[in-house]
Amino acid sequence: MVNNNRFKIFAGSKGAALAQRICDELGCQLGNLHLDRFSDGEFCTYFEESVRGQNVYLVQPTCPSSDNLMELLLMIDAAKRASASKVIAVIPYFGWARQDRKDKPRVSIGAKLVANMLQTAGADRVITVDLHADQIQGFFDIPVDHIYGSNVLAPYIAALNLKKLIVASPDVGGSKRASGFAKKLHIMTDREVPMVICYKNRPDFNKVSEIRVLGDVYGKDVVLFDDIADTAGTLCKAAEVMKEGGAKSVRAVVTHGVLSGPACERINDSPIEELVCTDSIPFDATRCPKIHIESLAIPIAQTIRAIQNHTSVSETNIR
């Protein structure tokens, strides 16, 4: 149940399917929002119903292209100008999150810039899923509710009842994330779930030259766990190394299936038996028969319900 606080949910172009699932969970109607495009590519958004005095939830991933971010910014601005009480940006996939620091001279910090833009547009709160780096929450001066994708991904893997389950991090930087996933599976299966780590040498963006496995995978059912699969080069190379090391099976689990460029071809041709991801980014599953999608609708709906009822979000969002 949601209390009598007034709220409405709207969706951008890329958030429509997930927003409808969220509304189904909450038992409410998806609001009417219109997008007009001009011949030169410029566009504008407007609400086809009143939002005055209401909490307005805007569902839109900021996945490529940048039009999706601009669409969200225009939606926020329109809601503020229409006298919404609060504007909450529901961003299942927070783009530019990989640009969270200056890792070399003369580069931008894209994640901070996007945070500033959302706040300048008028967002009062952000709901997002599996930020590439947890500290990005600190880029905001407004509340951020950070949902963990493992809450919908772990139950699926646990239900497979893999006999010799082991979790692998595809790189050293993701070891903490993978460790949390292994602990969750340990609780769900009541069995110890070991973890191994891959060491990768990346000479440039989206390129991986070498991967080595730190740990034993012989005879094991390996689950590679990461937050993002972009070109899938790292995952596919890691899967090959796992199979060469004697792994019985290899699956990949990621929260955000960006799957750009040759990703689908690589996955189809790789030893990966299955890639499990969420619906944080809309994806045509016919492009890759190995992909299985779990929905984030329930945890996002639970978060909206908690906000509306002024109850704890963390109680239903445990890593």
Q: What is the pLDDT along the chain (319 residues), one digit of tens a residue?
A: 555 458 999 999 999 999 999 999 999 999 999 999 999 989 999 999 999 999 999 999 999 889 999 999 999 999 999 999 999 999 999 999 999 999 889 999 999 999 999 999 999 999 999 999 999 999 999 999 999 999 999 999 999 999 999 999 998 888 999 999 999 999 999 999 999 999 877 656 555 567 888 899 999 999 999 999 999 998 999 999 999 999 999 999 999 999 999 999 999 999 999 999 999 999 988 889 999 999 999 999 999 999 999 999 886 676 6
Matching residue, tokens 């007009």: 36
Strand partners, 37: 43
Q: What is the pTM of this model?
A: 0.93
For 201, the enclosing helix (H) or strand (E) is: strand 195-201
Q: Which of 86, 200, 220, 237 is catalytic?
A: 200
Q: What does the block give as tokens for 268?
A: 């189809």
With contact defined as beta carbons under 8 Å apart, do 68 and 14 qualify?
Answer: yes
Which letter does DSSP use for residue 204 in this model? B
Identify whether 200 is a catalytic site residue: yes
137 close to 97: Cβ distance less than 8 angstroms? no
CA distance 140 to 135: 10
